[in-house]
Amino acid sequence: MELFGQTVICGILLGGMYALIAIGMTLIMGVMKIVNLAHGALVMVGMYVTYVCFSEFGIDPYLGMFIAMPVLFFIGCLIQKYMINRLVEVDSILPENQVLLTVGIMLVLTEGIRVYFKSDYRSVITSYSGNTAFLGDMSISIPMLVGFLIAMAFTMLLHFFLTKTDLGKSIRATSQDRDAAVYMGVNASRITMITFGIGSALAAAGGSLLLPLFYLFPDIGHLFTAKSFIITILGGMGSTMGAAFGGLILGIAESLGATYISMGYKDVVGLVIFILVLLFLPGGFRSLVKR
């Protein structure tokens, strides 16, 4: 029973951090209607920024993330404005060319990092890395708990931002109906750029929170792209709260899969859920609630 409890809690904590990354992807998907395969690479770049802050300047990862976020916001805005946005005017046979461009961007980011940092595995070890807290007989890693709490705080803040501020409302309006938003005086291209920036910043935040828990290497981005997708689809595309919920589901499913099926098949669990949801619940788990 302790094993089960610990597995579930571990899943929830990890899932909360995954969710933050996925919310970034959901925002971008909502406003731009594209699948961003470079999202994991943005997470990875954010992690490297935090890592450099730590290794070169001794800045704690939980502070370093506040450097990584604006950096990634800026990178995201540039990518959107000068690359993805250009494709609107391009006449392409394949409607998925924006998706393909994000693949190109993913390659450039990953390989750019590899040229500088090589493929070496890196890790951030802080004084509290190995600490655990106990809840009854279950042990909970402190970095996981702290990461989860910060991730939840960010999710709440973002929810507040999207529902209460003008900029947030403009983002939601653009994502629901771009044309209508433009008629209402929303500068859709500016909003799109900012959204991509925010999405990238969230990716950096999630990555930084996971940095004390994961080995860092250039290809780690793929892992996060896959997870964000699964979560986004689970949560029903474009919904912040849905993504938060989807993150928890994936975290728990993976954690249970790793404990009770096998470590090797951990990722298959997520992918199978992904396909099943795509096929049978196109609106994500939200459509179950609605029924």
Partner 1 sequence: MKHKNILLTVAFFLVAFLLPLFVKAPYQLHILILIFIWAIIGTSWNLLGGYAGQVSFGHAAFFGLGAYSAGLLTLHYGISPWWGMALGPVVAALASLPIGVICFRLRGPYFALAMLALGEIFRIVFLNIASFTNGAKGILIMPAITSKELYYYIGLLALAVTLLTTYAIVHSKIGYYLVSIREDQDAATSLGIPTTLYKNLALLPSAFFTGLAGALYMNYVAFIDPNIVFNLTNISVMAILVVMLGGVATTWGPTVGAALYIVLGELFRTTLGSANVLVFGVLVCLIIMFLPNGIVGELDLIKRMVTRKKTSLSGGV
Cα-based angle 93, 31, 97 (whole degrees, multiple of 5)? 20
Q: Shortest gap between Cβ of 37 and partner 1 (angstroms)? A: 8
d(CA 50, CA 40): 15
The residue among 129 and 262 lying less far from partner 1, judged by its C-beta, is 262
Q: Shortest gap between Cβ of 95 and partner 1 (angstroms)? A: 7
Q: Shortest gap between Cβ of 103 and partner 1 (angstroms)? A: 5
Cα-based angle 177, 183, 185 (whole degrees, multiple of 5)? 105
Q: Report residue 238: phi and psi, to 5°.
A: 85, 0
Instruction: Tell me the HSE value of 99 on the side-chain side, using a 13 A CA sphere.
Output: 8
Q: Shortest gap between Cβ of 52 and partner 1 (angstroms)? A: 19
The residue among 41 and 205 lying less far from partner 1, judged by its C-beta, is 41
Tokens of 125: 């070890």
The residue among 174 and 232 lying less far from partner 1, judged by its C-beta, is 232
Residue entry with tokens 């925002």 = 27
Under 8 Å CB-to-CB from 244, ≥6 apart: which residues? 16, 19, 23, 155, 235
- Let me know if 120 is exposed, middle or buried by CB neighbors in 10 A (0-12, 13-18, 19+): exposed
| Residues found near partner 1 in the complex (CB under 8 A) | 34-35, 83, 86-87, 90-97, 99-101, 103-105, 107-108, 110-112, 114-115, 118, 222, 226, 229, 233, 262, 264-265, 267-268, 271-272, 274-275, 278-279, 282
The residue among 196 and 229 lying less far from partner 1, judged by its C-beta, is 229
Q: Shortest gap between Cβ of 87 and partner 1 (angstroms)? A: 7
The residue among 138 and 193 lying less far from partner 1, judged by its C-beta, is 193
